Amino acid sequence: MQAQFTFVTTGGTITIMGYTGPGGAVTIPSTINGLPVTRIGDQAFSYCNSLTSITIPASVTSIGDAAFYACDSLMAITVDALNSVYSSVDGVVFNQSQTMLVQWPGGKAGSYTIPNNVTSIGDYAFAGTRLTNVTILNNVTRIGISAFFGSDLTSVTIGISVTSIGDHAFAGCDSLTAITVDALNSFYSSVAGVLFNQSLTVLLQYPRGKAGSDYTIGNSVTNIGASAFANCFSLTTVTIGNSVTRIGGRVLWQRPDQRYDPEQRHQHRGPSVLLLHQPDQRHNPQQRHQYRGRRVPILQQPDQRDDGQWRHQRRGRGVR
């Protein structure tokens, strides 16, 4: 069974880096070559569509970013009851105190209401999953980086208490038509399904599945957030008013050098021309940029230059 895993040894412990086995129900061993398995690496099981369930041993204390991204058949992740860092309920991974939702299994479809005890949705927790609808109750204060990136989400409701939404949290969701924020939330707001900060000065996310080919940014907006319009293929024109003074990194596209899934579900082709212009300026058709998007989690490589607009760390989700 150990031959089904690729791994590295660091400081007398094992990190699982990949899986090459036949899939089905998989149990991660607690030891390999006599050394404890303590970490599941970034993207270790990503795109393993043959996985149906996975069991995490008590020895694992850290789960990396996007470790189970786009595992379309994965219906349950079970954590050993003796694990001191993680726990699982109905196939969903939480931290031990169940205040953070760490990982939703990729193949589990349908609607979900975040449990009352959860205050934080972890980085990449729902990324690349088949979840279609989610209600985030008033106890949740944080939505992590790329938390729902590339999922099958069609709608999301954000409660009163959310005070932090990570970069690209709702980017790459093909079917997402609207993001709704509770009117009493003091940090965020939504207008016609588009996510803003409370004062409507920052446009944070335009839902990728929202109907319509044209969008005019309101005069109150001064800042367009990172990846706010990334791969919104239904849009042909976005009009930016004179009030906008800052446009975040990768506002239109995902990085072209990222890995992609050769299956059709994770590769997108079609109308992808997005025009940005000031309403009082003549548009030059030679400046059109075309990009075929790739539905993948956004991970900053340590050797890549940071553009100052799109910074976040690759960090494992070891929780306490």
286 in a structural domain = no
| pLDDT of the residue at 251 | 80
109 in a structural domain = no
21 in a structural domain = yes
Residue 312 CA to residue 165 CA, distance in Å, equals 13
pTM: 0.80
Cα-Cα-Cα-Cα torsion 46, 49, 53, 56, nearest 10 degrees, comes to -20
The 10s digit of each residue's pLDDT in 63-80 is 999 999 999 999 999 999
| pLDDT of the residue at 313 | 35
147 in a structural domain = no
Amino acid at position 267, single letter: Q
The 10s digit of each residue's pLDDT in 250-295 is 787 544 334 334 343 433 333 333 344 444 433 333 333 332 333 3
39 in a structural domain = yes
The whole domain housing 56 covers 1-83
65 in a structural domain = yes
What strand order describes the sheet that includes 178-181? 110-113, 131-136, 155-158, 178-181
What strand order describes the sheet that includes 275-277? 214-216, 237-239, 275-277
Query: How many whole angstroms from its chain centre is CA 92?
Result: 16
| pLDDT of the residue at 1 | 61
Q: What is the CA radius of gyration of the chain?
A: 20
Domain count within the chain: 1
CATH number at residue 30: 3.80.10.10
111 in a structural domain = no
The 10s digit of each residue's pLDDT in 121-142 is 999 999 999 999 999 999 999 9
214 in a structural domain = no
Q: What is the DSSP letter of 265?
A: G
